[in-house]
Amino acid sequence: MVETYKSTSNPMMNRPVVKAELVEWMRSSQTQVTGELAEVLNFAKENNIPVIPHETVLYFQMLLSLLKPKRILEIGTAIGFSALVMAQEVPEAEIVTIDRNPEMIELAKKNLAKYDHRNQIQLKEGDAADVLQELKGPFDLVFMDSAKSKYVEFLPKSLELLSENGLILMDDVFQAGEILLPIMEVKRNQRALERGLRKLFDEVFDNPKYMTSVLPLGDGLLMIKKH
């Protein structure tokens, strides 16, 4: 044992830190979105539409300011909030976003018509598995926030479309911790989702072809980069 820490080991190393009150602190104490983004966000909250949480918004803003991607692909538009966040941060970027939900598509179209002032965002309608086959790369950033069970299916084509130093982000991979449960303890209607995520983890974790990192932002954000 290293003598320096023999009697003064750091208890912080082995205790969880992402507690509910800390999440609330992260979401309330940091700079809030304003203006047009706030209008879209408030609509989402009022109508119970899931969008990326505030800590993820701030992370995206910082990451995008560093990466400065020229082309971004988003799988899962919803009402267009995250696409608008990205467009605001990198005004020179081209953003392609995909969704198949008719109601979300109509809401996204209204938001993009109203707030996408530079016409950066191109909305593709249809199943992502089909639309991906039609796209041409490279994309510097791919963000998935759609059917979690399909992430592993979208991965090969996303990697093919990814630029040499590009990054893939996949949202909501923790599933409130259910990824830790034995599969038979997961609710039956959630098992396909869980199996898809676990297949994804098996594919990318400890795979020499990829660098991965899982961040405790929102319900878990998985980052993948090609070696």
How many residues in total does the chain contain? 227
163 labelled ligand-binding: no
130 labelled ligand-binding: no
192 labelled ligand-binding: no
Supply the Cα-derived Rg of the chain in whole angstroms. Answer: 19
Find out whether the peptide bond into 138 is cis, omega within 30 degrees of 0. Answer: yes
HSE, CB side, 13 Å, CA atoms: give it for residue 128. Answer: 27
Identify whether the C-beta of residue 55 lies closer than 8 Å to the C-beta of residue 220. Answer: no
128 labelled ligand-binding: yes
- What is the sign, positive or negative, of the torsion defined by CA atoms of 64, 67, 73, 75? negative
127 labelled ligand-binding: yes
- As a whole number of angstroms, the distance between CA 33 and CA 16 comes to 28
52 labelled ligand-binding: yes
Q: Tokens 């104490």 belong to which residue?
A: 29
HSE, CB side, 13 Å, CA atoms: give it for residue 156. Answer: 3
Binding residues: 52, 82, 99, 127-128, 145
Binding residues for S-adenosyl-L-methionine: 52, 82, 99, 127-128, 145
